[in-house]
Copies of this chain bind each other. A is one copy, B any other.
């Protein structure tokens, strides 16, 4: 074999744009499989609409229309009543990968990468060669235009820019996509929007299905959820490299001012304390902070006690909302919901876990092979349903890590049980660019496990109650079977009438098992009244 030298090998050395990279590796963004690809598109557009409406303080009203254009070819239109996107920004927002408002903010939002909408524009271009068409009304201006993407340079191409109806408020995007398929499955759009409605009771969502059927998920609360506060980073969450970045970007003239302005919980007392611990000069300009300075500072941060990060950064779904939603959808015999206090991971990034557990009724998922119900997990991240890559997710690991036997659940996969988990955070560490699984961070898994265990405690009481009742019921039945024979025999022995003997015996037995009937009836009717009377979200 001829030996190739370095010059020959490297003659084809080239640099590529991130858009080119994702064009080649679109499965990394969630565009793998026809059904999943269509769900990914809806997921990106709807998440952006919800974020925008909430940031503008508007109750979201989102209309999704899907039409079949040909074999594996569909059009998608998503329209919201949000703040719109300014003309000067819209191109980049829709057609530049890694451009956005969300990247560096310590603010809980659904999007955090600046990839979603641009990935849809890319996918439209490479499957149908069409631009997406947008309409935007911000209140100041109102326009419509076509947007496509220059893949080689990761730059937007905006064409056909026109004025639009001045009264239009909101944002609408229309795109045509091939290599996709509408399917009413566990991973399809109907299920995605149903779960979105479940976790966002303040949003109204409408879906026009390709067969013309209209589905609506009307809002069930008329108040905006508590707006998550944009917070300053907590000193405990900083790496040396982060601290350098913040310092070198800072306009503060002294380190001490920089600390109190940039980070949370860094009051004058704390500044004095840290000052005593390190050799770094606090009158230094932040721009001149060296790696060694930063290393020493980060070490000292870890050695002192801090007030926990600000927790109003997080906006959860809410205990009551989860309970109502699970009862509506699953009609279970038992529900237990836990909202845990926020914790931190990686030292200082706040997050909160909510868990709902439902048992019996329509809880769980039907195993097609055995035709029996087994455990199912509904995962959410910042109120966005996670539909794919379940096996790779920290939230799934948490469920699998629970010793279900302790809660009288033999095997999770063989019981009619649904676990709903939502993680809220200013930064959710996704394991992939497609944001369908939470990375296996120990602190997140542990906290989610604790939440599940807490919610399961009530479940165990319920199940062992049901089991006791079953045991007693079968004992009762067994004894009653002998009453007839026994009455005959006793009647013969004593000369008393059989009827009278039988009645006496029955009384004794019924007294002994009285608790059984009282509990059973009371319990059942209570369970029924709790889950009844709610609107059915299935339709």
User: Which A residues are within 8 Å of any B CB, using their own CB?
Assistant: 1-7, 9-10, 12-18, 20-21, 23-25, 27-28, 32-33, 52, 55-58, 83-86, 89, 92-93, 96, 98-101, 103-105, 113-114, 125-127, 129, 136, 138-140, 179, 224, 227, 239-241, 244, 291, 389, 391-392, 429-433, 437, 439-441
Q: Are A15 and B58 in contact (CB under 8 A)?
A: no
Q: Are B103 and A7 in contact (CB under 8 A)?
A: no
Q: Which residues from B are CB-within-8-Å of A127? A: 239-241
Q: Across the interface, name the chain B residue whose C-beta is closest to A86.
A: B6
Q: Which residues from B are CB-within-8-Å of A24? A: 103
Q: Are B430 and A9 in contact (CB under 8 A)?
A: no
Smallest CB separation, A307 vs chain B (Å)? 26
Q: Which residues from B are CB-within-8-Å of A18? A: 18, 21, 98
User: Cα distance A57–B27 when bound, in Å?
Assistant: 33
Which of A5, A125, A431 has most chain B Cβ within 10 Å?
A431
Q: Are B391 and A138 in contact (CB under 8 A)?
A: no
Of B7, B93, B433, which one neighbours A432 at CB under 8 angstroms? B433
Of B13, B136, B239, which one neighbours A100 at CB under 8 angstroms? B13
Q: Which residues from B are CB-within-8-Å of A291? A: 129
* 10 tightest A-B CB contacts, nearest first: A391-B391, A6-B138, A129-B291, A15-B99, A126-B241, A392-B392, A27-B439, A1-B57, A432-B432, A6-B83
Q: Which residues from B are CB-within-8-Å of A85? A: 6, 10
In the complex, given contacts A6-B140, A15-B99, A32-B440, what are 12 additional A-B residue pairs having Cβ atoms less than 8 angstroms apart? A1-B57, A5-B139, A7-B86, A9-B52, A13-B99, A13-B101, A25-B113, A25-B429, A27-B431, A126-B241, A389-B431, A433-B433
User: Cα distance A5–B127 when bound, in Å?
Assistant: 34
Q: Are B16 and A99 in contact (CB under 8 A)?
A: yes
User: Cα distance A20–B3 when bound, in Å?
Assistant: 38
User: Cα distance A96–B14 when bound, in Å?
Assistant: 10
User: Cα distance A7–B101 when bound, in Å?
Assistant: 12
Q: Are A17 and B389 in contact (CB under 8 A)?
A: no
Q: Are A7 and B129 in contact (CB under 8 A)?
A: no
Q: Are B56 and A14 in contact (CB under 8 A)?
A: no
Smallest CB separation, A22 vs chain B (Å)? 10
Q: Across the interface, name the chain B residue whose C-beta is closest to A18.
A: B18
Q: Which residues from B are CB-within-8-Å of A126? A: 239, 241
Smallest CB separation, A513 vs chain B (Å)? 41
Q: Which residues from B are CB-within-8-Å of A58? A: 3
Smallest CB separation, A51 vs chain B (Å)? 9
User: Cα distance A24–B103 when bound, in Å?
Assistant: 9
Of B4, B17, B138, B244, which one neighbours A56 at CB under 8 angstroms? B4
Q: Which residues from B are CB-within-8-Å of A98? A: 15-18, 20-21
Q: Which residues from B are CB-within-8-Å of A140? A: 5-7
Smallest CB separation, A27 vs chain B (Å)? 4
Q: Are A227 and B1 in contact (CB under 8 A)?
A: yes
Q: Are B84 and A6 in contact (CB under 8 A)?
A: yes
User: Cα distance A431–B20 when bound, in Å?
Assistant: 16
Q: Across the interface, name the chain B residue whose C-beta is closest to A6.
A: B138
Q: Which residues from B are CB-within-8-Å of A179? A: 239
11 A-B pairs with CB atoms under 8 Å apart are A6-B56, A6-B84, A6-B139, A6-B140, A7-B140, A15-B96, A23-B241, A33-B440, A125-B241, A129-B240, A392-B437
Of B2, B3, B129, B431, which one neighbours A28 at CB under 8 angstroms? B431
User: Cα distance A7–B93 when bound, in Å?
Assistant: 13
Q: Are B57 and A430 in contact (CB under 8 A)?
A: no
A55-B4 in contact given A16-B114, A239-B126 (Cβ < 8 Å): yes
User: Cα distance A89–B12 when bound, in Å?
Assistant: 11
Q: Are B92 and A55 in contact (CB under 8 A)?
A: no
User: Cα distance A224–B1 when bound, in Å?
Assistant: 9
Q: Across the interface, name the chain B residue whose C-beta is closest to A178.
A: B240
Q: Which residues from B are CB-within-8-Å of A56? A: 3-6, 9
